[in-house]
Structure 1
Amino acid sequence: MLTELMHRLGRYLDAPDVWLPSLNRANGRTRQQRTERSVACVQLLRASLKYLDLLTLRVGVPLTGGGMQNLTLPFLAKQAGLDLRRAERAMRDLQAAGLTSVRSRCERGKDGGYKGLAAIKYVPAALFGAFGLAKWLRHERSKAALRQERRAAADAKEGRRGTRDARDTREHARGQLWLAGMKNGIAGRGGRARPASAGTDEAAAAEFDRQVQIRAGQIKQADPSLSREACFRLARQQLAPPR
């Protein structure tokens, strides 16, 4: 859809007052916008559309950890094939025409001064409507919102799975150590081992069964095709202490 809008923007050059009258009069004069100025505006708009996020209509590059990297005007000017001075004039025209909104940003440095950051830029939905793409835009934004929801759900599920696996691993390791201690007894004086009592043997057996159940569940999750009996058999084999 963005490619189609980039293509349709060319219609403005043939009939400015028909397609984008607000841009045609952005210079505040009654005469038509000069051709080279019109071309610069169209080129800068096309460069912005290359990096447009459909869900937010924000110009930028998505970051891996979330958020978005804003793009500077010099970067967009290079993408549009314009020198910076002409790009600045085009950006002023686009803002005056309501075809781009810009929100300036800055950060405070350690010396107490302020440094400008790449401004946040948006393209209005009305631009798509002006070229007959309003319905298509709504459809694509709905799809983008659904994709974002699915990604968020998948990330949350993966996070819960990682937490559960880590907990099971810790429990398994602690159980193995506990079983080894119960089997061998606690070393007394002179390094000799005390035999475990009958009550201790029963506790060790119960803990072993619990660890077998946990491990069997992990095996089933890794390979759902295995039967319950096979999962428990493999779990017992893996957890059995070496002879």
Structure 2
Amino acid sequence: MQDRLDAYLDEPARHLPTLNAANGSHRQQRRERRMACVQLLRAMLSYLDLASLRVGVPQRDGGFMSLTLPFLARHAYLPVRRAERAMRDLLRAGLVTAQQRAERTQDGDYRGLASLRQVPAALFGAFGLSKWLRHERRKAIMRRYRAATEASKAGREHLRGSRAEAQASLALGAIAQRLQTQRRAHEVTGDRDEAIGRRIGVLRALHPDWDRERCYSVALSELE
């Protein structure tokens, strides 16, 4: 597409008549002005997202980063003022659409963002590339779909991994707590058995005629 734009430089009225007439004159668009429009179009095509035909960079989170006109002018090797005039011609000719955007700042004011620009499919059709564009767009959309599916799958696996890790951590914590409780109970039981044994010895010394069961019963009742 970038190569075929050269045809407009030689025959503007044949290939992109709306751009040729964008200056509102019956005369042919000046070559310098044509060159600026073609160079700016080529810069936008370098950053064209085929799936949406928007000019910019798709983001991993599903967002889209638009490009400023000074950025496009730099990649088109044009002064900003000349790029502005070329963009106005392209917009007037219907070869680019632009949506103004702004965001609200913390102090309540609004700050302008890079316009969201889009190239119509008819631009490719004007140079005999409609079939190619449909084919490549289908491929781009499928790539985007596969990437989204893989990202979603990776997210689910990460969530399952995190959940399993949390559950394992909780299970280990419960086991540790149970073992600690059992250890404390064993320690208490051991201390109690020792105290009962000592009391039985005292009772048997005081009451030689008592048997072991009676001494144990009395010692147990005293400790309780």
2:129 corresponds to which of 125, 129, 133: 133
Partner of 1:94: 90
Which structure 2 residue ranges, 5 or more long, are not aligned? 191-224
Quote the residue 2:158 is aligned against.
Answer: 162
Structure 2 residue 70 is the aligned partner of structure 1 residue 74: yes
Out of 94, 113, 117, the position equivalent to 1:117 is 113
Partner of 2:213: none
Greater mean deviation of Cα atoms: 77-86 or 159-168: 159-168
Tell me how far apart the structure 2 counterparts of residues 114 and 148 of structure 1 sit (CA, whole Å).
32
Contact 1:187 1:193 in 2 (8 A): no
Q: Identify the structure with bigger relative contact order (alpha carbons < 8 Å, sequence gap 6+).
A: 2
Shift of the 192–85 alpha-carbon distance from structure 1 to 2, 3 Å rule, reads: same
Counterparts of 1:31 and 1:151 in 2: how far apart (Å)? 49
When the two structures are superposed, what TM-score results if normalisation uses the length of structure 2? Answer: 0.77
TM-score (ref. length: structure 1): 0.72
Give how far 1:173 is off: 3.0
Distance in 2 (CA, whole Å) between partners of 1:173 and 1:151 is 32
Report what 1:149 is aligned to.
145
Q: CA deviation at 1:24?
A: 0.7
CA contact (8 A) 1:106 1:117 kept: yes
State which of 25, 31, 47 in structure 2 corresponds to 1:29: 25
Alpha-carbon spacing, 1:177–1:125, altered in 2? closer, same or farther (3 Å): same
1:7 paired with 2:35, answer no
Q: 3-state DSSP class of the match of 1:59?
A: strand
Unaligned runs of 5+ in 1: 195-243
2 CA distance for matches of 1:13 and 1:60?
A: 26
Change beyond 3 A, Cα 1:99–1:165: same
Deviation at 1:94, TM superposition (A): 0.4
Q: Are 2:43 and 1:47 aligned?
A: yes
* Partner residue of 2:99 out of 97, 103, 107: 103
User: Using a 3 Å threshold, how does the CA distance of structure 1 residues 72 and 180 change in structure 2: closer, same or farther?
Assistant: closer
Q: Percent identity?
A: 53
Q: State whether residues 103 and 119 of structure 1, in contact with CA within 8 Å, keep that contact through their aligned partners in structure 2.
A: yes
Contact 1:16 1:24 in 2 (8 A): yes
Q: Report the Cα offset of residue 111 of structure 1.
A: 4.2
Answer whether contact 1:102 1:122 (CA < 8 A) is retained. yes
If you compute each CA radius of gyration, which structure gives the higher value, 1 or 2?
2
- Secondary structure at 1:27 match in 2: coil
Contact 1:185 1:193 in 2 (8 A): no
Give 3-state SS (helix, strand or coil) of 2:153's partner.
helix
User: Residue 169 of structure 1: CA displacement?
Assistant: 2.0
- 1:74 CA drift (Å): 1.0
- Distance in 1, Cα, partners of 2:32 & 2:161: 62
| Alpha-carbon distance in structure 2 between the residues aligned to 1:9 and 1:153 | 36
Classify the secondary structure of the residue corresponding to 1:188.
helix
Please state whether the residue corresponding to 2:3 is helix, strand or coil. helix
Structure 2 SS opposite 1:7: coil
CA distance in 1, matches of 2:106, 2:155: 37
Give, in whole Å, the separation in 1 of the partners of 2:184 and 2:45: 76
Q: Size of the alignment, in residue pairs?
A: 190
User: Quick one: structure 1 residues 193 and 97, their matched pair in 2 at CA, closer, same or farther if it must change by over 3 Å?
Assistant: farther
